Amino acid sequence: MPLTDTAIRQAKPADKPIKMTDGDGLFLLLQPTGSKLWRYDYRFAGKRKTLAIGAYPAVSLAAARKALAAAREQLASGVDPAATKKDAKRAARLAAENSFEAVARSWWASWKTSRTEGTAHAAIRALENHVFPHIGSTPITSVQPVDVLELLRKIEAKGATDMLKRVRARIGEIYIHAIANGLAKSNPAEGLHKAVKPHQGEHRPALRASELREFFIRLDAVRISKPIKLAIQLLTLTFVRPGELRCAQWHEFDLEAGTWTVPAERDRSRGLTGMKMREEHVVPLSCQAVAALRELQDHTAGSDLLFPNRNGQGRPISENTINSALRAMGYQAGQVTGHGFRATATGALLELGYRPDVIDRQLAHRERKQVFAAYSHHAQFMAERRAMMQAWADHLDALQTGAKIIPFRNGANG
């Protein structure tokens, strides 16, 4: 006799499981604990099997009969309903494990090993703020271009086109990782740069070479400590990144040979960062740079750092120290920053005829064209760079003294 909702509700548990039959193999298993479980007994390929349909009352009598009809239809088509359910559960579990966020964090864990701590932190924070809230729980294979476009347009609406560009690039890298590991077959971010506002890159504030004479006059007159004046002088002479200079240690320098080897990594527990691309970089030092370093040695006795923090603890000066000194010289943030000397030197050296690849190597830029990079990675251009750095220092001397500037060509076109 078929079951009724009333009979099911009124059924009381006993010491042993009770089987309440509905018909066609469907029955309700009443457990001693009081739970009521729908089951379907059937035969497939000559073997007796049982399909778990769900628990009452979450699965009603009508829903259980509907599930029974679907299972019988599968059997009629030669499909095992229990195996189908097992496969569906496995697919759901894999989808959860391969959600966009799970795959993104896997990508990030690998990607960050060749990046600085700050760059790695910024990347994951961008994903946490702008991407995961929208598609983080979605299976990596289910994310559609329209999903990515929607989140990009939310960033675009805020006017943050630089962040938009970075986020789109990160999503693309995540899908390259997913495709390489067999977790996805296509990249839904591909081509979406055409559907959003492009980012107009902002150059870091920098002086023109023609403004350096006034700059050196101000540097000489400003009332700041001698080590910080020397730090600024060294930035103009070497045009390294400010972080590479402020965290420098004396053992990295060979003043007799006129070289500075900036390590890929430094002791981060002391706040010391190495190269941006985590690749060792050799900086040829001009005579003027060596002289400035020898003078600096008189101010740092007892410290392994060129620019120790006055608060001690073996840490370097803060990242704001040089920019604060530039503000003390009367320059606004929109006029010049410590990083801007790289642009100043680059523009001047290009005008003076030096080859872009030599300048780029001195700047420690990573070659962006992958095929060329494979052949140029070990090209240091050291002889040309050494000649260029000395000529640049001589050029700065001439600017400071107000001498007539004659374009230098030694090694420029070699």
The percent of residues above 70 in pLDDT, for the chain, comes to: 90
User: Has residue 180 got a pLDDT over 60?
Assistant: yes
DSSP classification of residue 54: E
pLDDT of residue 350: 83
Q: Is-contact 68 40, C-beta < 8 A?
A: yes
Report pLDDT for 369.
42
Give the confidence band of 55 by pLDDT, cuts at 50, 70, 90: very high
Confidence of residue 375 (pLDDT cuts 50, 70, 90): very low
pLDDT over 90 at 35, yes or no: yes
Could you give the CA distance from residue 367 to residue 373 in angstroms, rounded to a whole number? Answer: 5
C-beta of residue 134 within 8 angstroms of C-beta of residue 147: yes
Domains of the chain: 5-95 (3.30.160.390), 100-195 (1.10.150.130), 209-401 (1.10.443.10)
How many Cβ atoms sit within 10 Å of the Cβ of residue 211?
A: 14
Whole-angstrom distance, CA of residue 321 vs CA of residue 309: 10
3-state secondary structure of 202: coil
Which pLDDT does position 117 carry in this prediction? Answer: 77
Q: What is the DSSP secondary-structure string of 258-327?
A: TEEEE-S---GGGT----TTSS-EEEE--HHHHHHHHHHHTT-TT-SBSSB-TT-TT-B--TTHHHHHHH
The residues, any chain, with a CB within 8 Å of residue 411's CB and separated by 6 or more, are 354, 383, 384, 387, 388, 391
> Residue 267: which pLDDT band, with cuts at 50, 70 and 90?
confident
Q: What percent of the chain has pLDDT over 90?
A: 48
Give the range among 119-123, 146-150, 279-283, 353-357 with minimum mean pLDDT.
353-357
Strand-by-strand arrangement of the 47-56 sheet: 18-23, 26-30, 36-44, 47-56
Q: Calculate mean pLDDT across residues 47-71.
A: 93
Closest by CA to 325, choosing from 408, 190, 231, 400, is 231
Q: What is the pLDDT of residue 199?
A: 59
Range in 100-109, 243-252, 367-376, 403-412 the model is least confident about: 367-376
- The predicted model gives 317-336 an average pLDDT of 89
pLDDT digits (tens, 9 = 90+) for 199-212: 555 556 788 888 88
Beta strands 259-262 and 36-44 are unpaired
pLDDT of residue 353: 82
Residues acting as catalytic residues: 241, 276, 339, 342, 365, 375
The predicted model gives 15-30 an average pLDDT of 92
Instruction: Count, in order, helices (H) and strands (E) of the chain.
Output: 17, 7
- Cis check for the bond before 57: say yes or no (omega within 30 of 0): yes
| H or E element, residue 124 | helix 117-130
SS3 state at 53: strand
Q: Where does the pLDDT of residue 85 fall: very low under 50, low under 70, confident under 90, or very high at 90 and above?
A: confident
pLDDT tens profile 275-305:
766 778 899 999 999 999 999 999 987 889 9
